[in-house]
Structure 1
Amino acid sequence: MDILFEPFFQRALIGGLLIGWMAPLIGTFLVLRRLSMIGDSLAHVSIAGVALGMLIGIYPLAVGLLFAVAASFAIERLRKAYKTYAELSIAIIMSGGVALATFLFTLGKGFNLNVTSYLFGSIMTLSSTDLWTIFAVSCAVTVFVLFLLKEMFLITFDEDAAHVAGLPVRRINLAVTVLTALVIGVAIKIVGALLVSALLTIPAATSLVLGKTFRYSLWLSVLLSEIAVLAGLLSAGIWNFAPGATIVLTLILMLILSLVFRVIRV
Structure 2
Amino acid sequence: MEFFQRALIGGALIAITAPLMGLFLVLRRLAMIGDTLAHVSIAGVALGFLMNVYPVAVGLAFAIIGSFAIEALRRTYRTYAELSLAIIMSGGIALASLLFTMGKGFNQNANSYWFGSIYTLTYTDIWVIAGVTAIVLTMVLVHKKELFLLTFDEDAAAVSGLPVKYFNIMLSILTALVISAAIKIVGALLVSALLTIPAACSLALSRSFKQAVILVVVVGEIAVLAGLWIAGVGNLAPGGTIVLLLIGFLAVSVATSRIMRA
Per the normalisation by structure 1, the TM-score is 0.97
C-alpha separation in 2, matches of 1:261 and 1:155: 30
Within the alignment, does 1:224 sit opposite 2:239 as a pair? no
**Deviation string for 1:218-241 (max 9, x for gaps)?**
110000000001110001111111
- Corresponding residue to 1:209 among 204, 210, 216: 204
Query: In the alignment, which residue of structure 2 is the partner of 1:255?
Result: 250
- Corresponding residue to 1:120 among 115, 118, 126: 115
Q: Give, in angstroms, the shift of residue 81 of structure 1.
A: 1.2
Query: In the alignment, which residue of structure 1 is the partner of 2:4?
Result: 9
C-alpha separation in 2, matches of 1:164 and 1:151: 13
Which amino acid is 1:39 matched to?
A: G
Query: In the alignment, which residue of structure 2 is the partner of 1:44?
Result: 39
Which amino acid is 2:93 matched to?
A: V
Q: Give, in angstroms, the shift of residue 13 of structure 1.
A: 0.2
Q: Which moved more, 1:62-71 or 1:165-174?
A: 165-174
Q: Give, in angstroms, the shift of residue 52 of structure 1.
A: 0.4
C-alpha separation in 1, matches of 2:88 and 2:159: 31
Contact 1:137 1:182 (8 Å CA) reproduced: yes
Within the alignment, does 1:65 sit opposite 2:60 as a pair? yes
C-alpha separation in 2, matches of 1:108 and 1:94: 21
Within the alignment, does 1:195 sit opposite 2:212 as a pair? no
Q: Following superposition of structure 1 onto structure 2, how do residues 97-176 of structure 1 map, counting pairs within 5 Å?
A: 97-176=92-171
Q: Give, in angstroms, the shift of residue 264 of structure 1.
A: 2.6
- Corresponding residue to 1:22 among 17, 23, 47: 17
SS in 1 for 2:78: coil
Percent of aligned positions that are identical: 64
CA RMSD across the alignment: 0.7
Give 4+ residue runs of structure 1 displaced > 4 Å after superposition: none
Which amino acid is 1:231 matched to?
A: A
Query: In the alignment, which residue of structure 2 is the partner of 1:238?
Result: 233
Q: Give, in angstroms, the shift of residue 91 of structure 1.
A: 0.3
Contact 1:25 1:145 (8 Å CA) reproduced: no
Tell me, which stretches of 5 or more residues in structure 2 are unaligned? Answer: none
Query: In the alignment, which residue of structure 2 is the partner of 1:3?
Result: none
Tell me, which stretches of 5 or more residues in structure 1 are unaligned? Answer: 1-5
Per the normalisation by structure 2, the TM-score is 0.98
